[in-house]
A and B are shown apart, each in its own frame.
Chain A
Amino acid sequence: MLRRWIEERLPRRMLPEGRWAHLAEPYEGDEVVVLDCETSVFDKKKGELLSVAAVRVRGNQIRLAESLDLTIRSDAVTDPNAVRIHYLRREDRLEGVALAEAIEKLLDFIGNRPICGFYIEYDRAILNRYIRELYNFRLPNRFIEVSEIYVKSKRRHHIHEVHLDLTFEGLARDLQVPIVERHTAMGDVISTALMYIKLTGFGQSR
Chain B
Amino acid sequence: MTIQINLNQPPFSFLKDEQLDWLTSRLDLVFFNAGALILQQGVPAPGIYIIYKGLVEERDGETGQVFSQYGKEDLFDVRAVLENGCKHTFAAVEETLCYLLRADDFIQLLDQSGDFSIYFNTDLGTQQSMVERQDSSVSEFILSRVDEDVIRPPVYVSAQTSLARVAALMYEKKHDALLVRDGEEIGILTGTDLVKATLLGDKTKQTRAADVAQFNLIGVEYGEFLFSALLKMTQHKIERVVVRKEGQIVGLLELMDMLSTFSTHSHIIAMRIDQAKSLKELVVAAKRLEILIETLNGQGVKITALMELVTTLNRRLIFKAFELIFPPRLRQSVCILVLGSEGRGEQILKTDQDNAIILNNEHDREAVLPLLQQLHQALLDFGYPPCPGGVMFINDSWIHTVEGWQERVARWLDSGNPDAMMNMAIFMDGEPVCGNPELFWPIKASWQLETLRSSIVSARFAKPALQFETPLTFLGNIREDHGNIDIKKGAIFPLVHGVRAMAFEHAIDECNTLERLTILMEKGVLDSETAQGLRDALVFFLRIRLRQQLEHDAPNRGLSQQLDINQLRSVDRNLLRHALHRVKKFKQQLSLHFHLENF
CB contact list, A151-190 vs B, under 8 A: 176, 178, 180-181, 186, 190
In Å, the complex CA distance between A193 and B33 comes to: 15
Would you call A180 and B26 a contact (CB within 8 A)? no
Q: Give, as a whole number of angstroms, the nearest-CB distance from A114 to chain B.
A: 19
B29 touches A190 (CB 8 A): yes
The 10 A-B residue pairs with the shortest CB-CB distance, nearest first, are A203-B33, A62-B29, A65-B26, A203-B31, A60-B31, A197-B31, A61-B30, A64-B28, A204-B36, A65-B28
Closest to B40 in A: A206
Q: Classify chain A: how many residues form its interface, as a range.
A: 20 to 34
Chain A residues whose CB sits within 8 angstroms of the CB of B466 once the complex forms: none
Which residues on A sit within 8 Å (CB–CB) of B99?
64
Within 1-60 of B, Cβ neighbours of A (below 8 Å) are at: 1-2, 4, 25-33, 36-38, 40, 52-53
Assess whether A176 is in contact with B95, with CB atoms less than 8 Å apart: yes
Given contacts A69-B1, A178-B53, A186-B1, A203 and B28 within 8 Å (CB-CB): no
Q: Which residues of B contact A65 (CB under 8 A)?
A: 25-28, 102
- Say if the beta carbon of B100 comes within 8 Å of chain A: yes
Which residues of chain B (79-100) have a CB below 8 Å from chain A? Answer: 95, 97, 99-100
Whether, in the assembled complex, A87 has its beta carbon less than 8 Å from a beta carbon of chain B, the answer is no
With both chains docked as a complex, state the minimum distance between the C-beta of A193 and any C-beta of chain B, in angstroms: 8
Assess the B1–A205 pair: CB atoms within 8 A: no
**A205/B28 in contact, CB under 8 A:** no
Q: Which residue of A lies closest to B53 (CB)?
A: A178
Question: How far does the alpha carbon of A62 sit from the alpha carbon of B100 in the complex, in Å?
Answer: 10
**A14-53, CB under 8 A of B: which get 1 and which 0?**
0000000000000000000000000000000000000000
Residues on B facing A (Cβ under 8 Å): 1-2, 4, 25-33, 36-38, 40, 52-53, 95, 97, 99-100, 102
A-B contacts, 23 listed (Cβ < 8 Å)? A60-B30, A60-B31, A60-B32, A61-B29, A61-B100, A62-B31, A63-B28, A64-B27, A64-B28, A65-B26, A65-B102, A176-B95, A178-B4, A194-B29, A194-B97, A197-B31, A203-B32, A203-B33, A204-B32, A205-B37, A205-B38, A206-B37, A206-B40
Q: Report the separation of the CA atoms of residues A176 and B53 in the bound assembly, to the nearest whole angstrom.
A: 11
Q: How far is the CA of A197 from the CA of B98 in the complex (A)?
A: 14
> Does A89 sit at the interface, judged by CB under 8 A?
no
Within 8 A of B (CB), among A54-92: 60-65, 67, 69
A190 to B52, CA, bound (A): 13
**Known pairs A60-B31, A178-B4, A186-B1. 19 more at Cβ < 8 A?**
A61-B30, A61-B31, A64-B1, A64-B99, A65-B26, A65-B28, A69-B1, A178-B52, A178-B97, A193-B29, A194-B29, A194-B97, A198-B31, A203-B31, A203-B32, A203-B36, A204-B33, A205-B36, A205-B37
Residues B26 and A205 in contact, CB atoms below 8 Å apart: no
Complex contact A62–B30 (CB within 8 A):
yes
Tell me the smallest distance from the CB of B25 to a CB of chain A, in Å.
7
Q: A67–B30 Cα gap in the complex (Å)?
A: 14
Which B-chain residue is minimally distant from A180 (CB atoms)? B4
Q: A61 to B30, alpha carbons, bound, how many Å? A: 4
B48 CB to nearest chain A CB (Å):
13
Bound complex: CA A202 to CA B52 (Å): 18
The distance from the CB of B226 to the nearest CB of chain A, in whole angstroms, is 51
Number of A-B contacts (CB under 8 A): 56
What mask results when residues 83 to 122 of chain A are scored 1 for a CB within 8 Å of chain B, else 0? 0000000000000000000000000000000000000000
Q: B241 to chain A: closest CB distance in Å?
A: 61
B53 contacts which chain A residues (CB < 8 A)?
178
What residue of chain A has the Cβ atom nearest to residue B102's Cβ? Answer: A65
Known: A69-B1, A178-B53, A186-B1. A64 touches B29 (CB 8 A): yes
Q: In whole angstroms, what is the CA distance A202 to B95 when docked?
A: 12
Write out the residue numbers on chain B whose beta carbons fall within 8 Å of the beta carbon of A181: 2
B29 contacts across to A, CB distance below 8 A: 61-62, 64, 190, 193-194
What is the chain B residue whose CB lies nearest that of A190?
B29
With known contacts A64-B1, A67-B1, A69-B1, A205–B32 Cβ distance under 8 A: yes
- Scoring A62, A176, A198 by chain B CB atoms within 10 A of each residue's CB, the highest score goes to A62
Q: How far is the CA of A186 from the CA of B29 in the complex (A)?
A: 13
Q: How far is it, in angstroms, between the C-alpha of A178 and the C-alpha of B95 when the chains are bound?
A: 12
What separation, in Å, do the CA atoms of A198 and B32 have in the docked complex? 9
Q: Answer whether A202 and B1 are a contact pair too, CB < 8 Å, given A65-B25, A65-B26, A178-B53.
A: no
What is the minimal beta-carbon distance from B269 to any residue of chain A, in angstroms?
50
Residue among B25, B29, B99 with the highest chain A CB neighbour number at 10 A: B29
- Cβ of A206: which chain B residues have Cβ within 8 Å of it? 37, 40
B71 to chain A, nearest CB (A): 15
Contacts of B1 in A (CB 8 A): 64, 67, 69, 186
Q: Bound complex: CA of A126 vs CA of B53, how far in Å?
A: 34
A146 CA / B12 CA spacing, docked (Å):
35
Q: Residues of A contacting B25 with CB < 8 Å?
A: 65
Please give, as numbers and ranges, the residues of chain A lying within 8 Å of B4 by CB-CB distance.
Answer: 178, 180
Within the complex, the shortest CB–CB distance from A191 to chain B, in Å, comes to 11
User: B545 → chain A, closest Cβ, in Å?
Assistant: 34
The residue on A at minimum CB distance from B37 is A205
Neighbouring A residues of B26 by C-beta, 8 Å? 65
A187 to chain B, nearest CB (A): 8
A206 to B43, alpha carbons, bound, how many Å? 12
With a 10 A CB-CB cut-off, give which of A61, A65, A198, A206 has the most chain B CB atoms.
A65
Q: Which residue of B lies closest to A201 (CB)?
A: B33
Q: In this complex, what residue of A is CB-closest to B30? A: A61
Q: Mark A116-152, 1 if CB is under 8 A from B, else 0.
A: 0000000000000000000000000000000000000
* Complex alpha-carbon distance, A180 and B5, angstroms: 11
In the complex, residue of chain B having the shortest beta-carbon distance to the beta carbon of A62:
B29
Distance to closest chain A CB from B2 (angstroms): 7
Chain B residue with the shortest CB-CB distance to A203: B33
Residues in chain A near residue B100, CB distance under 8 A: 61
Which one of A64, A67, A180, A202 contacts B31 once the chains associate, using CB atoms below 8 Å?
A202
With A and B bound together, what is the CA distance between A185 and B33 in angstroms? 25
Closest chain A residue to B33 by CB distance?
A203
Q: Which residues of B contact A204 (CB under 8 A)?
A: 32-33, 36
Closest to B25 in A: A65
Query: In the complex the two chains form, is B28's CB within 8 Å of A61's CB?
Result: yes
A193 to B29, CA, bound (A): 10
B250 to chain A, nearest CB (A): 59
Tell me the bound Cα distance from A69 to B37 in angstroms. Answer: 31
Instruction: Enumerate chain A residues within 8 angstroms of B102, measured Cβ to Cβ.
Output: 65
Residues of A within 8 A of B38 (CB): 205
Q: Which residues from A are CB-within-8-Å of B40?
A: 206
CA distance A64 to B23 in the complex (A): 12
How far apart are the CA atoms of A176 and B1 in the complex, in Å?
Answer: 22
Which residue in chain A gives the minimum CB-CB distance to B101?
A65
Determine the residue in chain B with the shortest Cβ distance to A175.
B95
Q: Kindly list chain B residues whose C-beta atoms are within 8 Å of the C-beta of A67.
A: 1
Which residue of chain A is the closest to B43 with respect to CB atoms? A206
Q: What distance in Å separates the Cβ of A124 from its nearest Cβ neighbour in chain B?
A: 24
Minimum CB–CB distance for B529 against chain A, Å:
36
Instruction: Give the distance in Å from the alpha carbon of A203 to the alpha carbon of B40 in the complex.
Output: 15
B47 CB to nearest chain A CB (Å): 10
In Å, the complex CA distance between A203 and B52 comes to 15
The CA of A204 and the CA of B1, in the complex, are separated in Å by 26
